[in-house]
Amino acid sequence: MSLCRSIEDELTRWYEDPSHKALLVTGARQVGKTFAVREFMKEHYDTALEINFVETPRAKAIFEGNLDANTLIASITAFSGVPLEKGKSLVFFDEIQECPRARTAIKFLVDDGRFDYIESGSLLGVLYHDVPSLPVGYENVVRMYPLSLREFFVALGAQVETFDLLEDCYRRRKTVPTAIHERMLQLTRLYLACGGMPAAVDRLVQTQDLASVLAVQRDIVELYRLDIARYASNKPHVKSIFDAMPSEIIGTNKRFTLRDLAPSARMERYASDFMWLVDAGVALPCYNIRAPQVPLALNEQHSLFKLYPCDVGLLGAMLEQSVQFDLVQGDPGINNGALLETLAAQELVVNGYSLRYFDKSRYGEVDFVLQNGSHALPVEIKSGASYRRHKALDNVLGVREWGLEEALVFCPDNVQVDGSICYLPWYLLMFCRAVEETPLLVSW
């Protein structure tokens, strides 16, 4: 199945930039990097050569000698048997983390300028120490994530006209037509069960069998555990953090508590192990802030954080009890708050936000606080009918010196506005995008 992915637009923008460098496509395993690049190079290049360092480990020998461009290009073409044409050919290095010297060689190949280059790989954020010399200034980097809500809806048949209508409802705070609202809620519940891993979405579309989807998800979870066993420097710590993510998110406090890992655990001993999962793309960190005031980055407390799995479907697969079918049926007995919060974290990151929350005993906890330009925007994710009860949100809106003008509550109901609080259905998260900074131009 061909999935329509937003990365296609980013690849096209890179291609159309006459001064482009090499392109590095990174992200967690199984998010569809290789497939996306293959489809792109079929469409845009007369000749495309792919070297996968996992499937063809002999290719590493190309980079064992001199790294000057003439030697490298002669070796690449001899190894592949594919003739390359100046200005019309692409060389795709896949699984480049397995050949660190190939990453170093990129700067010489880009300087040479005869061909275009795309690199792709996983775990690049944790294996960069293996690269003799990183090609700083010679790469454009794009990060790929699991399918977003919009991409998932498209895979299940949603039309462009539907998105146009929904975005208009989001922008103008208008009620979504009832039939569309009910259908989108149904699809959102399905996303909670399936998530956005391409293999899982493909299995869902092909079979409509949630048990089969769950098997795919569990295989991916096991692959992540194998990566930890192979690559993590402190394997027991990283594995215990990875396995604890579901219980910590579902727990009362939601944030990560070190004593749940070990009675004597200390942050200074575990900090790099948390970041291993983040750098591998497996987890999304969300830091507590001292106050919901911009710039939020200056208010972060890195010792207090939540850690979300990179995909809500994988979170469901990591739970001891299978909840997929009950989620799709909208079973009110299912506590899907943690799943919805993970969906929101996943969607907000795709839409350009850094994840932060606010939690102080005096005020309570607000799920997310986003920075929109020069304004802070509190966001709550509600799973049930009591979505109008949000004491913490009311408390922070009442602090005049923080100057919070609006808050968003994502809930199962339709669009409503009550004073400074806007209630929005879960699926409209896809339109909650980071505000781009206005260029500050000066003249002299």
Q: Please, which pLDDT band fits residue 317 given cuts at 50, 70 and 90?
A: very high
Instruction: Check: CB of residue 415 under 8 Å from CB of residue 169.
Output: yes
Residue 380 or 130, more confident: 380
> Which domain covers residue 189, as residue numbers?
149-431
| Structure letter (DSSP) for residue 29 | T
Q: Please, which pLDDT band fits residue 132 given cuts at 50, 70 and 90?
A: low
Mean pLDDT of 83-107: 93
Report the domain count for the chain: 2
Mean pLDDT of 143-168: 96
The tens digit of pLDDT for each residue in 265-289 reads 555 566 788 889 999 999 999 999 9
Query: What token pair was written down for 145?
Result: 């994530």
Residues 183 and 301 in one domain: yes
Instruction: Check: CB of residue 335 under 8 Å from CB of residue 251.
Output: no
Residue among 411, 344, 346, 415 at smallest CA distance from 166:
415
Q: At 105, which CATH number? A: 3.40.50.300
In the predicted model, what is the mean pLDDT of the chain? 90
Q: Count of residues for the chain?
A: 444
Q: Do the bridges between strand 356-360 and strand 364-366 make them parallel or antiparallel, or are there none, so unpaired?
A: antiparallel
List strands edge to edge, sheet with 356-360: 300-309, 283-289, 356-360, 364-366
Residue 441 falls within a domain, yes or no? no
Residue 426 falls within a domain, yes or no? yes
Residues 99 and 191 in one domain: no
Residues 12 and 99 in one domain: yes
